[in-house]
Structure 1
Amino acid sequence: MADAALRLKSLIEQVLGAPLPVRIRAWDGSQAGPPDAPVMVVHHRRALRRLLFKPGELGLARAWVAGELDVEGDLYTALDLLAGLVWERGEDARTLGEALRDPEVRAAVRGLVRLAGPPLPPAPPEEEMRRRRGHLHTRRTDKRAISHHYDVGNDFYEIVLGPSMVYSCAYWPDSDATLETAQRDKLELVCRKLALTPGQRLLDVGCGWGSMAVHAAREHGVSVVGITLSQEQAAYARKRAADEGLTDRIEIRVQDYRDVRDGPYDAISSIGMAEHVGADRYLEYAQNLYGLLAPGGRLLNHQIARRPQRDESAYDVDEFIDAYVFPDGELQPVGTTVALLERAGFEVRDVESIREHYARTLRGWVANLEADWARAVELTSPGRARVWRLYMAASALSFERNRIGVNQVLAVKTPESGASGMPLRARTWN
């Protein structure tokens, strides 16, 4: 079959009703498509079988993770070109069901089935999280989901994140700053927003590898309790605290936020953790944190947000992210987050969007991964490394295109007297 690429391009365009913006190189070596565009390499017909069984994002992701699909050229450009066909087709685009009413589209699908060959469907790649029945966001299911994402290996995360070991949006002071500088500035920004002073108690919810705990204890003299559900993160964070000589001021626990009982704390930081809480549990999360704060205490909630939908009841989670990256993770609009924090009793005093900062952060992580690709594969697996590269590159584009955002929400447990302790002039931390 010396013309597989041309046949594949023609059949896909008939199904999509739009020209394919990338060049295709098929398993037989043939090529078709725009000569100067990034090349989508279809290494095996099995990639087509995956797309036919799971049309759209999940099928593409499975083929990518299995190594049956690849991109030659700039990955960001390829993803940006494909976004209009796969992720952002718009309200006027036909759904697959509507398209299949067209006899020509049905004929094209039959052509793809013949081109793909038997059998159908292939088993999902190993790295996919197997779905289980039952309630989401119980202590058991949350621990399992966190382990899937964060217990990949500390050595692997050192490659991706760099020496800071901060796995959340950095805060870039200027365009020439390094990733390390930007992560340090983010941690310092959080500390300033919380107005930390020596002797205070800080609870760091979802403490990761201990970066915030170490920075707050070392630079601001506070005592920190950091909690995580990841055994590997906890071990790493404890070692960092010991290496810094801060074990008298830092306690790292493997503990669910719902099980913390030793308040009051003067401040709480929750940086990149609330995405794991779930919409049905969010009010409970906010109420728990409110109950752990002393009157006048501050919460800094740093959280990714999605854009509001015209029909919120029709919102679906991202299939690729849910299956491979953050199982059971849920994003909600920033307005929903603010409303739930206020329902829990907080007074929201500041909301800062830092969306563009996350795009820069993710591009930095992708560059780190690509620079040490062979070792990253050795530490995990080819499939796992491919998952991380795809999800971080696609996420960078999502932030750049305003499909998702990230916000720091500063809230206060204002006492009955109304004395919030906040300065009269806003943003004094800048």
Structure 2
Amino acid sequence: MIVASIPSNAASVARHYDELDPAYRRIWGEHVHHGYWREGHESPEEASVALVELVEQRLALKPGQRVCDIGCGYGATAAELLKRHDVAIVGFTLSARQQRIGQARAPGFACLRRDWLDNGLATASFERAYAIESSEHMVDKALFFAEARRILRDDGRLVVCAWLEGEHVRPWAVRHLLEPICREGRLPSMGSREDYVRLARDAGFVLTHYQDISRQVQRTWTICLVRLVKALIRDPAIRRLAFGRGVESRDFLFSLPRLILAFRTGAMRYGVFQWDAVSPPASNAATDR
């Protein structure tokens, strides 16, 4: 587990997304996650939706189910799912700006501004849950999984897309790539595939599918870097974010080359996990609400 040298918490994550809201939306779009190039010729927008479709396939949604979006961003993923499925989705974000957009996103979607680690949901009240690139922001990853297991029914399913530490990462890559990525991206820690499997198992999940799609998503950051450079030239709002002294989160804008190199060297991986809740929640999980 890679741990950031400067601690991060829910407040700093919220500030990160609120401050960088214009950059996220103008440079990449309202899907605050990687694109997934299945064929290789998709546009960035099509690739963003393709990742949602991959998660959708793993969720295997059924009519009438209650679904939890852990780290819903602007609610764009939930809106895509609601186009094709008769389900109800409750999403969680820490960002006030994301919630304002998410609240008006689609019928059947409730966007809450609340910390997942203190979510207030009833036990066994959902059939499905997913987290697309949000588990990285959790201060306590064991509690992240424990809460997901607690709110799911015994036949429930959890799908997680995660930034992961690669295998056999060299010390220089930790020092110059992964730890700075955690620090600049407000990630308290970055786990490996093995870390996630162990934490989920301890919470009462059984891994039923895993897919490494690092090669299919890494193009995201090259596109973002090119768009950022153009935006710095053309867009005064982005220049203010990048060079304004009062913007605490601006360091992440300059972390894009690290992300490109981390993927290309294998220091960082991107995994899609599917877990089924087929055993009782772990005894040390959060108490019923």
What TM-score, normalized to structure 2? 0.83
Alpha-carbon separation, structure 2, partners of 1:150 and 1:311:
30
1:40 corresponds to which residue?
A: none
Find the partner of 2:126 among 252, 265, 275: 265
Alpha-carbon separation, structure 1, partners of 2:100 and 2:195:
34
1:355 corresponds to which residue?
A: 214
SS of residue in 2 equivalent to 1:380: helix
Alpha-carbon separation, structure 2, partners of 1:346 and 1:167:
26
2:283 corresponds to which residue?
A: none
SS of residue in 2 equivalent to 1:411: strand
1:196 corresponds to which residue?
A: 61
2:12 corresponds to which residue?
A: 145
AA of the residue aligned to 1:159 = R
2:261 corresponds to which residue?
A: 397
Q: 1:319 to 1:400 in 2, by over 3 A?
A: closer
Q: 1:148 to 1:222 in 2, by over 3 A?
A: same
Once the two structures are TM-superposed, the CA of residue 191 in structure 1 deviates from its matched residue by 1.0
| 8 A contact 1:205–1:257 mirrored in 2 | yes
Find the partner of 1:170 among 21, 25, 35: 35
Larger Rg: 1
Alpha-carbon separation, structure 1, partners of 2:116 and 2:230:
36
Find the partner of 1:320 among 180, 191, 209: 180
Aligned residues: 267
Q: Kindly provide the CA deviation profile for residues 40-87 of structure 1, in whole angstroms up to 9, marking residues without a partner as x.
A: xxxxxxxxxxxxxxxxxxxxxxxxxxxxxxxxxxxxxxxxxxxxxxxx
Once the two structures are TM-superposed, the CA of residue 264 in structure 1 deviates from its matched residue by 1.5
Taking the TM superposition and a 5 Å limit, the aligned residue runs for 1:22-421 are 142-162=9-29, 165-239=30-104, 241=105, 246-247=106-107, 249-260=108-119, 261-262=121-122, 263-278=124-139, 281-308=140-167, 318=178, 320-323=180-183, 325-373=184-232, 374-375=234-235, 376-378=237-239, 380-382=241-243, 387-414=251-278
Name the Cα RMSD after superposition: 2.7
Alpha-carbon separation, structure 2, partners of 1:175 and 1:357:
8
Alpha-carbon separation, structure 1, partners of 2:253 and 2:19:
14
Alpha-carbon separation, structure 1, partners of 2:216 and 2:252:
19
What TM-score, normalized to structure 1? 0.57
Q: 1:196 to 1:410 in 2, by over 3 A?
A: same
| 8 A contact 1:153–1:379 mirrored in 2 | no
More strand by share: 2
Q: Any unmatched runs of 5+ in structure 1?
A: 1-129, 417-430
SS of residue in 2 equivalent to 1:372: helix
| 8 A contact 2:31–2:48 mirrored in 1 | yes
